[in-house]
Amino acid sequence: MSRFFQATFAISIFAVNLGAQSPAPTSPALSPSGRLPQAESKSPALPAASPSATPITEDLVNSLGPADLQAVITLLKSNFTDPDAIADTELNRATVEGLLARLPRGVMLLRGKENPSASAPSAFYSEIIAGHIGYVRVGSLNSANLQALDKSLNAFAGKKVNAIVVDLRASQATDDLALAVEFAKRFCPKGKAILTLRKPSGRQDRVFTSDRDPAFRGLVMVLTDGDTAGAAEAIAAALRFYDKALVIGQPTAGRAAEYSDLPLPTGKILRLAVAELISPEGRSLFPEGVKPDLPVEMSLADKRQIFQLSGEKGMNPFVYEAGRPHMNEAALLAGTNPEVEAAEAAQQRRGRSQEKPPQHDPVLQRALDVITSLEVYQKR
């Protein structure tokens, strides 16, 4: 993580000009996704206010060594037209602003202590798709959902489910890492490290290891996106490492860290990442997160709406259209695609109508197609 701090003072140089021509910035509140909103520039004439110029400016700043950085500060204090803009307070503000911009997942400034109950927990959901594929949407990593997962896995065992799709797209961050690890234990081998909590050098790592046999040993697919945060990111990495699970969807949130909320004198809160989560193969999951093996685009709004409707309709209508043939083993062997044929026929019947297409979950669809393809290949 030290690479993030190498240009702390460098970014302050860039922000000084902004401070000289506009009021002191007000720290934005944390967005629901855990990311800070982009500050709106009040000085269009500044080079860095242009999105196209920002990467060039950042590259130039990053190229400055310690001697250059000190020289820039000295020259600014001696020659800049507005000496007040180079005062220690403005330099400190510029440094904080630069850190917030460069470390959006690791350093956050909040207006006050957040209410943990502000966001309702995501419920667990499960069903069997295509007669033999278990689907589990883990939801929030809490005790109630863990019990629901155990109940579903026991039910799957009696119905000859040989593949499972573990949907982590509604699994938010949690402070209880031990409880979060319990979810991964249902799929990972006994005696193996699931994740490691690593603090800055000189402190002891905390290793979370599975102490039970897995409840499921078949084919596993994992679904992720930007709502997959914290320990859920570590679960995705562990299932990929131990179960050879394919991760499908979009990159995770990149917040696989332990955070501390530190009060400031005015009552504002400085939230810092004080420890990072390490995957079983020894890779830090912060702040890059988990990248999917099979990227599939889907808007968060569409996904959340589907999840809300699935409580009464199930997930099947959002994967297969009613009355429409879908991909199966016979079609794969014959080299045909009944889904495409049915879609073309429907389009011909409708002409080129502008009716809104039905809601669809392409991420789950891709997982089911991969499972079907692997089953066909294994039978050959």
What is the CATH classification number for the domain harbouring 125? 3.90.226.10
Most confident of 13-22, 82-91, 162-171, 343-352: 162-171
Helices (H), 158-280: 177-185, 231-243
244-292 residue pLDDT tens: 999 999 999 999 999 999 999 999 999 999 999 999 999 999 999 999 9
Q: State the average pLDDT over residues 304-311.
A: 94
Closest CA to 100 of 229, 199, 228, 8: 8
Same domain? 144 vs 97: no
182-208 residue pLDDT tens: 999 999 999 999 999 999 876 789 999
Same domain? 153 vs 207: yes
DSSP state of 12: H
Query: Cβ distance 176 to 141 under 8 Å?
Result: yes
Within-domain flag for 358: yes
Same domain? 207 vs 281: yes
The per-residue pLDDT for 318 is: 94
Question: What are 144's two structure tokens?
Answer: 């109630």
Q: State the average pLDDT over residues 105-111.
A: 95
- How many angstroms separate the CA atoms of 288 and 253, rounded? 8
Same domain? 290 vs 321: no
Same domain? 148 vs 235: yes
Range of the domain at 94: 2-104
Same domain? 336 vs 230: no
Last residue of a domain, one of 57, 81, 104: 104
Which pLDDT band, with edges at 50, 70 and 90, does 378 fall under? confident
Within-domain flag for 44: yes
The per-residue pLDDT for 33 is: 37
Query: Cβ distance 280 to 254 under 8 Å?
Result: no
Distances in Å between the alpha carbon of 252 and those of 205, 206, 373?
23, 23, 26
The per-residue pLDDT for 172 is: 87
Within-domain flag for 6: yes
Query: Cβ distance 227 to 248 under 8 Å?
Result: no
Query: What's the domain count of the chain?
Result: 3
Same domain? 266 vs 172: yes
Last residue of a domain, one of 229, 261, 295: 295
Q: State the average pLDDT over residues 44-49.
A: 37
- How many angstroms separate the CA atoms of 182 and 276, rounded? 19
Same domain? 278 vs 337: no
The per-residue pLDDT for 347 is: 63
The per-residue pLDDT for 328 is: 66
**pLDDT at residue 327 greater than cutoff 90:** no
Same domain? 284 vs 188: yes
**pLDDT at residue 73 greater than cutoff 80:** yes
Same domain? 144 vs 284: yes
42-56 core/surface letters (b: 16 or more CB in 10 A; e: else): eeeebebeeeeeeee
The per-residue pLDDT for 8 is: 39
